[in-house]
Structure 1
Amino acid sequence: MKRNSFIYCLGIGAFAICSSLISCKTQQQEIQSSTYKFDFGTGKIAEGYHQVRPENMYDSAKGFGFLDAPELEAADRGGNVLENDFLSSKSPFFFTVDVPEGNYDVKVILGDKEGTSSSTIRVENRRLMVGKTETKSGEIIEKNFSVHIRYPEIAGTNKKVKLKSREHDYLHWDHQLTIEFNGDMPKVAGIEITPNNTAPTVFLAGNSTVVDQANEPWAAWGQMFPAFFEPGKVVIGNHAESGLTLKAFRWHNRLENILSMMKPGDYLFIEFTHNDQKPGNAHVEPFTSYQEVIREFMAAAKEKGGIPVLVTSMHRRSFDENGKIINTLEEYPEAMRQLAEEENVALIDLNAMSKTLYEAWGETESKKAFVHFPAGTFEGQEEDFADNTHFSTYGAYQLASCVVEGLKKTDLDLVKWIKPDIPTYNPANPPAFEEFYWPLSPRVSIIKPDGN
């Protein structure tokens, strides 16, 4: 893969099919009590840990290992058994573990007793967990994050999520937790993965502007969202998928999949419009069928004890001759605003904030927030990318910042779990592109995501 010239500165579980709901519930509880511990390196093994050596590629019999790992280097500094040795690489590497469906808290031990390190951690489909984290020479640190794992099989039924063909290669429908270690020089000494059955889950229902985009250079706000919250306190479950409408989200059993995992106190964020406004059998009208289907989503969540939250869709990148955003989403955002007021449901007005944000950038600078790259930037890319709907990683992070800022204006309990060091975000004065750091993942696609 070519790196673009302006790289952003910026044991093991098994899930059995049960003969009855009672036995299934009992077995699931037993599995969910497991903690998975891994000691990276070739030195002595910490008690209760599985050793992970450079050559340990994923093995289904063991239930863990590396995926397509580049050349990994092992080092042993002596001293503390868990912290004395580590694995590192100059290229991104992926470690995967078989785990049951559910939420997990992950602790990663990083650093080097005789050198520095620099790590960015993502999971599954490039879902950001830990931003650029550097350690000084001799420094060993722990970084924690929480992750949601979903299966296509819907618990308690004989149904499955109807996956699109390209989703079969995604890293988030495969019954595993996959962790991507990226950055200038990640040095990983250990990992602990512990089930979290109590923290509220924030389920995201949406389209390509929300989804965990699997490949560079595409991104969406949902995959940046987890990095804004306190680990262990709340878990983000992004179930959005490119090209979907409200109706298709139901037809594909995705809402049913969410509801099968939802517990009282969980949240359902709903953001749809881009595809719903198009003609076809999934089309809905703003103040009638659009509102009606959203009401059905909200009612289903409330029946499970969940808390619905409405998010108006961000604008497309479309400027008039005066540098103002053209509203291509018609009356749909206003229909959602009115629905939130009528139903007394929390609203995050991303549509309004995106207008301010895009106009603050202007027509030229805003290209950096979208997938606008000249031909040849990425391997196999023979034509220019000029996508005015889908975001670059920089743009996706700014939209996520807007969502978090909108969340702060609600009275939801979720607000208290936003990390205390997250600064106030002003869409009228966004951080510069050059300040954003995102080391590229090795997975690249020259195919535009579904939807527009």
Structure 2
Amino acid sequence: MSSLYAETSPSDDLRFDFGGGSVEPGYIGVSAAEGYSQNTGYGFNTPENMRNVAASGLGEASDAVQFLAFGTKSTNTFNVDLPNGLYEVKVTLGNTARASVAAEGVYQIINMTGNSAKDKFQIPITDGQLNILVTEGKVGTAFTLSALKIRKLSDVPVTNRTIYIGGDSTVCNYYPLDSSAQAGWGQIFKDFVNGQTFQVRNMASGGQIARGFRNDGQLEAILKYIKPGDYFILQLGINDTNPKNTTTEAEFKEIMRDMVQQVKAKGATVVLSTPQGRATDFNAEGIHTSVNRWYRHSTVALAQEENVPLVDLNVLSSAYFTSIGREATIALYMPGDSLHPNRAGATELARIVAAELQRQGLDGFSVSE
């Protein structure tokens, strides 16, 4: 076992600075040509598929490596020997329009956007090694990595209680996470969750449909780690109703049912959520209503049939929008966009979802009345 990470120092970070430039103090410099070695305990599995590239950030983000071979199952990984346990991994990308992070053969972070984007995830290590790479968010984009920080959280290789979230562009993360003008409610949800009880893993992605979420790797990642005591909140339907996606309402419902049943079989709690309507869904009397949008009726029926909690965000958000009026509602959405919430709008939606789960008696939520 590598001496890089001592089991007696669980609070210490391992820091890697990737690329061909200068190495920041406190970091281990790793060039694209550096293959994995048992002597060092780290390196690229197939360095011939890596390349040093420039990056526009500062410090450790001033250079990067590019993954020339990629995919969640790719062997073109950066490997780090680690004692078994639970770890937090902080990722800084290089210059890229949109990229995802995979480790241990599944997605860990979905669609990080913009140069020097930062995010983090928890991962249990059970085989003595972390295997991580940057992969598709958008085909044709350079998939780059500037830095990693790895911290051991526990000797027990099991994630903390987790709320996994699935959804589309009204739910997903936007970067920088703490300051983006546009936001999905899943990005803000952690602010209404007791952080001593849960971590939040937002696996939503823009443009997503039920079939894609199930078949293209996001559900796979959740099923790998989800366990009794965890939650999975699933909100889809907006893009499924787009004719280009050729998903009938009956097909949508059965794909959603399949996902519900697969997660229930893991012993976790599934929560179904209906999407909010458009900012402009006001009638002549000033009432906001969108109950016929986004295959809502099938989601409501499915929750009853599968006996899982339902957050009818469609109706709950409409009640809130009616209470504040048309102009205040429009101000919660991106300029000229009646579908996608801005940061303030996403915050209100996250608050509504968390408050409804708290009202239904689910534990771990901290919403002030």
TM-score calculated relative to the size of structure 2: 0.63
* Inter-partner Cα distance in structure 2 for 1:204 and 1:324: 29
CA contact (8 A) 1:268 1:308 kept: yes
Secondary structure of the equivalent of 1:370?
A: coil
Counterpart residue number, 1:290: 252
Counterpart contact for 2:271–2:309, Cα < 8 Å? yes
- Structure 1 residue 273: Cα displacement: 1.2
Instruction: Identify if the C-alpha distance between structure 1 residues 102 and 162 changes in structure 2 by more than 3 Å, giving closer, same or farther.
Output: farther
Superposed displacement of residue 358, structure 1: 1.6
Is it true that 1:252 corresponds to 2:216 in the alignment?
yes
The 3-state SS of whatever aligns with 2:331 is helix
Equivalent residues in 2 for 1:36-435 (5 A)?
A: 36-37=11-12, 56=25, 60-61=29-30, 68-69=57-58, 104=88, 148-149=121-122, 163-165=137-139, 176=148, 194-195=153-154, 197=158, 199-214=160-175, 216-285=180-249, 288-318=250-280, 319-327=282-290, 329-330=292-293, 332-372=295-335, 386-412=336-362, 415=363, 417-419=364-366, 422-424=367-369
Q: Match for 1:418: what amino acid?
A: F
Distance between the aligned counterparts of 2:164 and 2:29, measured in 1?
29
Whether the 8 Å contact between 2:333 and 2:342 is mirrored in structure 1 is: yes
State the AA in 1 paired with 2:265.
Answer: E
2:10: which partner in 1?
Answer: 35
CA distance in 2, matches of 1:316, 1:170: 36
Find the aligned partners of 1:306 and 1:254 in 2 and give their Cα distance. 16
**Residue of structure 1 in register with 2:77 after alignment:** none
| SS of equivalent residue, structure 2 residue 339 | strand
Letter in 2 for 1:210: V
State the structure with bigger RCO (CA 8 A, min sep 6), 1 or 2: 1
Q: Quote the Cα distance in structure 2 between the aligned partners of 1:224 and 1:360.
A: 22
Contact 1:207–1:245 at 8 Å: present in 2 too? yes
Contact persistence 1:204–1:239 (CA under 8 A):
yes
2:134·2:143 contact (CA, 8 Å) conserved in 1?
no
**Over residues 260-298 of structure 1, what are the superposed CA-to-partner deviations in whole Å (9 max), with x where a residue is unaligned?**
12223322111001101111344231xx22221111001
- Per-residue CA deviations over 1:365-411 (Å, capped at 9, x if unaligned) read 22221112xxxxxxxxxxxxx11111111111111000011101224
Cα deviation, 1:296-353, whole Å, max 9, x if unaligned, reads 0011102222221111111111233332225275372222122211221111111111
Q: Is the alpha carbon distance of 1:278 and 1:33 closer, same or farther for their aligned partners in structure 2, counting shifts above 3 Å?
A: farther
Unpaired runs of at least 5, structure 2: 16-22, 31-39, 43-55, 60-79, 91-110, 114-118
Whole-Å Cα distance in 2 between the matches of residues 167 and 239 of structure 1? 20
Amino acid at match of 1:350: L
State the distance in 2 between where 1:12 and 1:387 align. 52
Percent identity, please: 25
Q: Which amino acid aligns with 2:153?
A: T
Give the residue type in structure 1 aligned to 2:210.
Answer: L
Corresponding residue for residue 378 of structure 1: none
Q: TM-score, normalised by structure 1?
A: 0.52
Q: Equivalents in 2 of 1:217, 1:170: separation in Å?
A: 24
| Deviation per residue, 1:19-64 (Å, 9 max, x gap) | xxxxxxxxxxx999973436xxxxxxxxxx99xxx9649654499x
SS in 2 for 1:309: strand
Give the CA deviation at 1:199.
2.5
| 1:214-241 deviation line (CA, Å, top 9, x unaligned) | 2532101101111222224211111000
| Contact kept in structure 2, 1:276 and 1:283, CA below 8 Å | yes
Paired residues, number: 283
Contact 1:246 1:276 in 2 (8 A): yes
Q: Contact 2:240/2:247 (CA < 8 Å) preserved in 1?
A: yes
